[in-house]
Amino acid sequence: MQRVVSVVAHLGFRLQALPPALCRPLSCAQDVLRRTPLYDFHLAHGGKMVAFAGWSLPVQYRDSHTDSHLHTRQHCSLFDVSHMLQGTLSLFTNEAGGILDDLIVTNTSEGHLYVVSNAGCWEKDLALMQDKVRELQNQGRDVGLEVLDNALLALQGPTAAQVLQASVADDLKKLPFMTSAVMEVFGVSGCRVTRCGYTGEDGVEISVPAAGAVHLATALLKNPEVKLAGLAARDSLRLEAGLCLYGNDIDEHTTPVEGSLSWTLGKRRQAAMDFPGAKVIVPQLKGKVQRRRVGLMCEGAPMRAHSPILNMEGTKIGTVTSGCPSPSLKKNVAMGYVPCEYSRPGTMLLVEVRRKQQMAVVSKMPFVPTNYYTLK
């Protein structure tokens, strides 16, 4: 008997945040942008809407970016990321070893894989999965693909579980990091609650049927611990946590080893070499790559994407891929790529900001300790 494999793809709703400078304010073309089920909800709560990856999303609300960021670290915030069993970060790779997308994949007890894609990659991800489904079906395999149109809400911060527990019958203490369960939340049935997020804090992502999204978000906001947060805070939080932004820190020209994501490759897959790009990636695991993603920290002007990284002799050796002032540390943090010989923490380098050179130090990531919930 052939094993039945069903893939349920939640495509286009795990909306990773771009730095505010890269988000386009809405214009007369706003009617062509896709809207999440919470669009009117955002406007009613003062959301400043921007265009991101073909969607209209709030970059921030009435609170400042810094206030939203710090509230998430100290309490909890609600993000529209319209995104148990075991779940994990996984990668789609091409034959050259490049990263097509980073995704959350959950192996559910219902006999299917639950896949959450990045908004900017959903079309190519869907095409890739559809091609694979056809290939397997032609081999006689019983494989299917279903695309969900649920909304995805992320409740992130140290009090997130306490807030959510009042609305569910399940014991969230039994739901550790990267596990999920289907449950009723504030009376909305069919919600998949996953203990994960994009901030480095404890929290959950709730995949909720579109018709119940506003009800659920409104119910959460009744708790004084919860405030709304937008793309701006999401970006600075993920950067403090050392998490990649697809299209900035990783892309089709970056291998998992270069991107410091080797841990996503299981030992079985490494041994079998049965994934796209294995002939490029596996030798890198066993040998040496030319460059690596590193953390950088400096004072002075903030480092931004595309800022040149130089050695102490003033020769350009790399480029910043993401950077911002850290609201938590009151210092500037960034990620970038440098040759391996410059990747050791503590290495002093120069970064060119506004045509001026300033000192920077290679730093361990995450910059701010993570607080993921694991079973004790």
Domain boundaries, the chain: 34-85+148-241, 290-367
Would you state the pLDDT for residue 19?
41
Q: Give 223-281 pLDDT, tens digit per residue.
A: 999 999 999 999 999 999 999 999 999 999 999 999 999 999 999 999 999 999 999 99
Would you state the pLDDT for residue 7?
56
Closest among 152, 150, 191, 153 to 169, alpha carbons compared: 191
CA terminus-to-terminus distance, the chain: 40
Domain 34-85+148-241 has CATH 3.30.43.10: no
Cα distance between residue 349 and residue 339, in whole Å: 12
Would you state the pLDDT for residue 6?
52
Cα distance between residue 65 and residue 235, in whole Å: 10
DSSP H or E run through 134: helix 122-138
Cα distance between residue 71 and residue 1, in whole Å: 53
Q: Which amino acid is at 127?
A: A
pTM recorded for the entire structure: 0.91
Architecture of domain 290-367: Beta Barrel (2.40)
**95 among the known binding-site residues?**
no
CA dihedral 375, 152, 52, 10 (to 10 degrees): 90
Per DSSP bridges, beta strands 348-353 and 331-339 are unpaired
- Given a contact cutoff of 8 angstroms between Cβ atoms, the answer to whether 333 and 239 are in contact is yes
Cα distance between residue 350 and residue 359, in whole Å: 5
pLDDT tens string for the chain (376 positions)? 333 445 555 544 333 333 444 344 554 344 588 899 999 999 999 999 999 888 899 999 999 999 999 999 999 999 998 834 577 889 999 999 999 999 988 888 888 888 888 888 888 999 999 999 999 999 999 999 998 888 999 999 999 999 999 999 999 999 999 999 999 999 999 999 999 999 999 999 999 999 999 999 999 999 999 999 999 999 999 999 999 999 999 999 999 999 999 999 999 999 999 999 999 999 999 888 999 999 999 989 999 999 999 999 999 999 999 999 999 999 999 999 999 999 999 999 999 999 999 999 999 999 999 999 998 7
Helix, strand, coil proportions of the chain in percent (round to 5)? Answer: 25, 35, 40
Residues 6+ apart with CB under 8 A from 367: 239, 240, 241, 242, 295, 297, 326, 329, 333
Residues 6+ apart with CB under 8 A from 28: none
Would you state the pLDDT for residue 8?
58
Residues 6+ apart with CB under 8 A from 91: 99, 100, 101, 102, 103, 256, 261, 264
Would you state the pLDDT for residue 96?
97
Cα distance between residue 154 and residue 81, in whole Å: 6
Burial code (b: 16+ CB inside 10 Å, e: under 16) for 279-306 equals ebbbebeeeebebbbbbbbbeeebbbbe
Locate 73 and state its tokens: 């670290």
Closest among 111, 135, 334 to 244, alpha carbons compared: 334
Residue 347 has a CB neighbour count (10 Å cut-off) of 17
Cα distance between residue 370 and residue 315, in whole Å: 34
- Count of CA atoms in the C-beta half-sphere (13 A) of 114: 26
Locate 74 and state its tokens: 């100290």
Chain position carrying tokens 């710090």 = 70
- Count of CA atoms in the C-beta half-sphere (13 A) of 348: 7
- Given a contact cutoff of 8 angstroms between Cβ atoms, the answer to whether 219 and 166 are in contact is no
